[in-house]
Structure 1
Amino acid sequence: MTTPSPADDDRGCLRLVLAVPLTLLTLIAAYFCWTALTITPSGPWDDDAYAGIVLACVLTIAAGGTAAALWLSPSARRALPWWWLLPALLLSTVAGARWVVGG
Structure 2
Amino acid sequence: MTDSPHEQIDDRGCLVMVLAVPIVLLTLVSAYFCWTALTIQPSGAWDDDAYAGIVLACVMSVAAAGVAAGVWVLPGVRRVLGWGWVAPALMLGVIAGVRWATGV
Cα RMSD after superposing both structures: 1.4
Greater helix proportion? 1
Higher Rg of the two aligned structures: 2
| Correspondence for 1:69 | 70
Q: What pairs up with 1:39-50 in 2 under 5 angstroms?
A: 39-50=40-51
Residues in 2 aligned to 1:70 and 1:5: alpha-carbon distance in whole angstroms: 28
Amino acid at match of 2:83: W
- Structure 2 residues not aligned, in runs of 5+: none
Q: 1:3: Cα distance to partner?
A: 2.2
Q: From the superposition, tell whether residues 4 and 85 of structure 1 become closer, same or farther in structure 2 (CA, over 3 Å).
A: farther
| Correspondence for 1:31 | 32
Q: With structure 1 as the length reference, what TM-score do the two structures score?
A: 0.91
Kindly tell me the number of residue pairs found equivalent between the two proteins.
100
Moved runs in structure 1, 4+ residues, more than 6 A?
none
- Structure 1 residues not aligned, in runs of 5+: none
Q: With structure 2 as the length reference, what TM-score do the two structures score?
A: 0.90
| Correspondence for 1:3 | 6
State the percentage of identical aligned residues.
Answer: 63
